[in-house]
Amino acid sequence: MGIRYGRVPQGSREVEWHIVSHIDCDGIGGFARLLRARGVEMEKLPETKYPCRGVIAPLWNLWRDSRKEKKRAVQADWLEVGGGTSIHEALYCHLFTVEETLEIVNRCRESGVSVNSFLLKHLDHAIRPGIANPNARIRWLVPVNLRGDIQYDDDTANHVSCVEASIAPDDSIEMIHADILHRLKRGEHRAKHLFFMAGGILNHEGKIDLLRKERAKLEGNIGSFSNLGIWNVSEASGDGWVFCPPVVSGQLLGAGCVTFQGRLGIAIQGHSSEPSVVAGWIARWLEFIRSAD
């Protein structure tokens, strides 16, 4: 289960790909390792904006909310229409300019929405035309950084949990943001972290198997949407970076975002019968981002 990072050297359009094991690191940790290996000094990594403590309340809230929830999508809902039996893994990315990134940020600020929810809404919109049930309420796995809430000796190790955003095709950006915020306030990420901690007694292979089974449930999520946030580091060169979380069996795709030195980079990788399908996802995602009011 590899996390992919793409370095785009200054003045080049070629992407130099790096893979970091998700068992060893989370998205932030893997990126920090790569940057430090290139001489960038970072004493402290980004910390959570949503600290959560306790055991009983988060677990109770997760159980109660799951019972109240509307019928959720299953894998059959996001299978490709007319997809074949052969599955290809394809990866596509795009790096915005500083000016384009600033325009996106300003547009979101003027509309009173977060960049994260803005990107997720348009991603969800972009992938729906080719799936079996485009009208389904679909779940997206959204990783949550727990640094500052938990602490390990290695600051690049897995300090991550998640919430699962539930999105219907007509949900607004504001509704998506409110849903994610509700889950964070209820401690969904804390409850899921407690479940992950139960895997601490497993060996390396056991942890991989646990993560795969968790993400491959029939009644699960279509894939991960992960945003590593904003990284402005003084020692860095003029390189650009893109990032993409892993995709496991049962998921259709993974999408990642990172803003490095003022430039937003996005990437999608997916399981598809045709690589051109994944290319279509990112093309539509870019179209919706650029044309959004």
Tens of pLDDT along 14-43? Answer: 999 999 998 889 999 999 999 999 988 888
* Highest CATH level, class, for 2-9+17-44+52-291: alpha beta
Asked if the model's pLDDT at residue 102 lies above 90, the reply is yes
Q: What is the mean pLDDT of the chain?
A: 84
Pairing of strands 160-167, 240-244: unpaired
Structure tokens belonging to residue 78: 């996001």
The per-residue pLDDT for 66 is 63
pLDDT tier, 52 (very low <50, low <70, confident <90, very high otherwise): confident
Please state the pTM of the whole predicted model: 0.87
Q: Which strands sit side by side in the sheet containing 16-21, from one edge to the other?
A: 16-21, 2-8, 240-244
Q: Domain map of the chain by residue range?
A: 2-9+17-44+52-291
Which alpha helices (H) appear in 134-274, and where do they start and end? 173-185, 188-197, 204-215
How many degrees, rounded to 5, is the angle at CA 197 between CA 63 and CA 179?
Answer: 40
Q: How far apart are CA 219 and CA 224, in angstroms?
A: 15
Structure tokens belonging to residue 269: 């990788």
Please tell me which residue, 173 or 198, carries the higher pLDDT value: 173
Structure tokens belonging to residue 120: 């997720």
Structure tokens belonging to residue 20: 């970091």
Residues 6+ apart with CB under 8 A from 248: 1, 211, 212, 215, 216
Which alpha helices (H) appear in the chain, and where do they start and end? 27-37, 56-68, 98-111, 115-127, 173-185, 188-197, 204-215, 275-291
Q: What is the pLDDT of residues 257-268, one digit of tens each?
A: 999 999 999 999
Q: Assess contact for 189 and 172: CB atoms under 8 A.
A: no
Structure tokens belonging to residue 185: 């306030």
